Structure 1
Amino acid sequence: MFEKIQFTCADGYVLQGRFFPKQKDSTQLPILIGSATGIKQGFYQAFATWLSEQGYDVMTFDFRGIGDSLYEPVAKSKAFIHQWGQLDLVAAIDKLCQLSNVSQIHLIGHSAGGQLLGLAQNYQKVKSVVAVAGSSGNTKGLGGKTKFLGPIMFNVIFPVSSFFKGYAATHFIGMGENLPKGVGAEWREYCNKGGYATNAIGKTVFEDFHSEIRSPITAVHALDDEIATKHNVQDLLRTYPNSTTKMISLAPKQYGLSHIGHMAMFKPSHQQLWSIIADQLHAQPQHAA
């Protein structure tokens, strides 16, 4: 069960979320789930419900321009990824602290949802981060067929669809919801070089908190993930030089699974992996090699 909520960012933009109250007494800090690029919060409902059954207050939300936080045709949306980190994530952290009456929360972020804390001015309110399939997405570090399809998406599909349709077309290639063209353009910028959001420093980002963050960050990725490859996970973790970091690599066959990839870790079919994610909230990471 969850409660529909809404909350307002510093620039007045209203975001839609869901609050899953803990279903048993505990003293655990609440968990904010950050969505991947173009993925609606409903994708995480089963996982959020499971966490609430373990004794966590849990909150999900849609970034501006996505899902319930899109109030107009996507072609008219003025959303950008840097706003997701500077405004949306900040407001979501504050909202969950308010709902649970705490001063700190945990962040479990999927892909982009775990890659933007360095842009959030209230990063001190995040006790620990688990970045699931979190990486820099650097096109040079992609694997498998994505190594070839990724550059085509960024350098051909996005510019062409943005020009003719007014948005970055992703739905037809199975990459989530169609994206506001500003999101598509910044995603391309962030991934065409290493370092993800650090590529925007001095352009759209003028307050950078990556080096100030000291909360432990654990990156959990699958060995068959063609986006969050070992190279790209390490590339993301290096952007937090003063945080203790850890990388956990999961082999599908080790868990009796045919695949995990970039998306499946949050699916009910892969529930045996959920305790691995939750356990990292209590772990003491070491600096990644």
Structure 2
Amino acid sequence: MNHAGDGNARSVTIAARDGASLAAMLFSSPRGEGPVVVIAGAIAVKQKFYERLARFLAARGAEVLTFDYRGVGASRKFGTPRGGLRAWGEQDLAGALDHALTLAPDAPLRVVAHSVGGQLVGLAENNHHIRAMLAISAQIGDWRLWPAPRKYALWLFWNALLPIPAAVLGYFPAARLGLGENLPKDAALEWARWCRNPDYFVDAAGRPFPGCFDDFTGSIRALTIEDDWMAPKPAVDALMHRYRRASIEPMAIRPEAKAIGHFGFFRDPGRPYWDDCARWLMES
């Protein structure tokens, strides 16, 4: 494992379950007495986006691990191993959890999951080690769960506007469209396939697979943000229903001054909620 850093934050290379190398950052607590927290990010979002929250949690006693999924962000320097979103959960996130468990084997493990990160936790076979998950706008992407007329635009996106460019170019040019990081072809096509199917988690032949949702028996605080069109409440609820053995605490956020949307929780508009959510995460 390679290390480089600046004081309490250092870059590390961690291994996915299938041996793929992933770029990660470890934010160490000066106190070194709290839980280990893994941040499972959204699709097409670099781990750098979560650094501010990671430092905030580390200052409160947590050891915090962020990472980039295969083919995304700093992990692109290792190439793009085969595998889409299913591999991101079964291999990449599971590998990050494995690494977190080596940092402090006796410390409780927590996860902050943003958007698709909340889905991937349910695919990691070692998710039973997680005591608590703060799920922020974590949802099922089935277009049918959105209100009209937006759901019809999403139908077009999942059936044509995403899969056709991904198939032709070999990647989805999200950066050119202002939608985040470019997506590797495997991830883009699998994402589109899931979002077209009412069973959502389906293999290449369209057959549902169960994942490891029933292995998760920890606590979940599920945040729904009122002005987040990317994660409406029915889609958030649909994902939470997969975690049948979890203790789930819904939390609705209704922005009063500044818009929060899908990404604002990790920026200044979401800062007023950090103290309470961090306290819940650390103490659950």
TM-score, L = length of structure 1: 0.87
| Equivalent residue number for residue 158 of structure 2 | 154
The CA deviation at 1:184 is 1.0
List per-residue Cα deviations over 1:140-185 (Å, max 9, x = no partner).
1225875344333222222221232111232233321111111111
Corresponding letter in the other structure for 1:234: D
Q: 1:221 aligns with which of 217, 220, 224?
A: 224
Counterpart of 1:105 (choices 106, 109, 121) is 109
Moved more, 141-150 or 77-86: 141-150
Deviations 1:177-201 (A, max 9, x none): 111111111111222234543x349
The question of whether the paired residues in 2 share the 8 Å contact of 1:139 and 1:191 is answered with yes
Identity percentage over the alignment?
A: 27
TM-superposed CA distance for 1:111, in Å, is 0.6
What is the letter of the counterpart of residue 138 of structure 2?
G
Query: Is this contact kept in 2: 1:107–1:114, CA < 8 A?
Result: no
Alignment correspondent of 1:39? 45
User: Aligned partner of 1:35: which letter?
Assistant: G
Query: Does the 8 Å CA contact 2:199/2:208 hold for their aligned counterparts?
Result: no
Cα drift, residue 241 of structure 1: 1.3
CA distance in structure 1 between the aligned counterparts of 2:217 and 2:40, rounded to whole angstroms: 19
Q: Structure 1 residues 201, 80: CA separation in 2 closer, same or farther (over 3 Å shift)?
A: closer
* Structure 2 residue 87 is the aligned partner of structure 1 residue 83: yes
Q: Which amino acid aligns with 1:134?
A: A
Cα distance change, pair 18–72 in 1 and its aligned pair in 2 (3 A): closer
SS at match of 1:71: helix
After superposition, the CA RMSD in angstroms is 2.5
Contact 2:12 2:23 in 1 (8 A): yes
Amino acid at match of 1:221: T
2:270 counterpart SS class:
helix
- Superposition map of 1:60-99 within 5 A: 60-71=66-77, 78-99=82-103
What does the per-residue CA deviation read over 1:3-34, in whole Å, with 9 as the maximum and x for residues that have no partner?
100111232200110000013353x2111001
Name structure 2 gaps, 5 residues minimum: 1-7
Q: Which residue of 2 is the match for residue 11 of structure 1?
A: 18
Distance 1:230 1:195, change over 3 A: farther
- What is the letter of the counterpart of residue 11 of structure 1? D
Given that 1:157 and 1:169 are in contact with CA atoms closer than 8 Å, whether structure 2 keeps it comes out as: no
Matches within 5 A, 1:1-289: 1-26=8-33, 28-71=34-77, 78-102=82-106, 104-143=108-147, 146-194=150-198, 196-197=200-201, 199-200=202-203, 208-253=211-256, 256-257=257-258, 259-281=259-281
- Note the C-alpha offset of 1:102: 3.2
Aligned equivalent of 1:287: none
Letter of the aligned partner of 1:186 in structure 2?
E
Find the aligned partners of 2:95 and 2:81 in 1 and give their Cα distance: 19
The structure-2 alpha-carbon separation of the partners of 1:131 and 1:65, relative to structure 1 and needing over 3 Å to count, comes to same
- Contact 1:86–1:121 (CA<8 Å) still a contact in 2? yes
Cα distance 1:72–1:60, how it changes in 2: closer, same or farther (>3 A)?
closer
CA distance change for structure 1 residues 196 and 118 in 2, over 3 Å: closer, same or farther?
Answer: same
Do the aligned partners of 2:260 and 2:269 also contact (CA within 8 Å) in 1? Answer: no
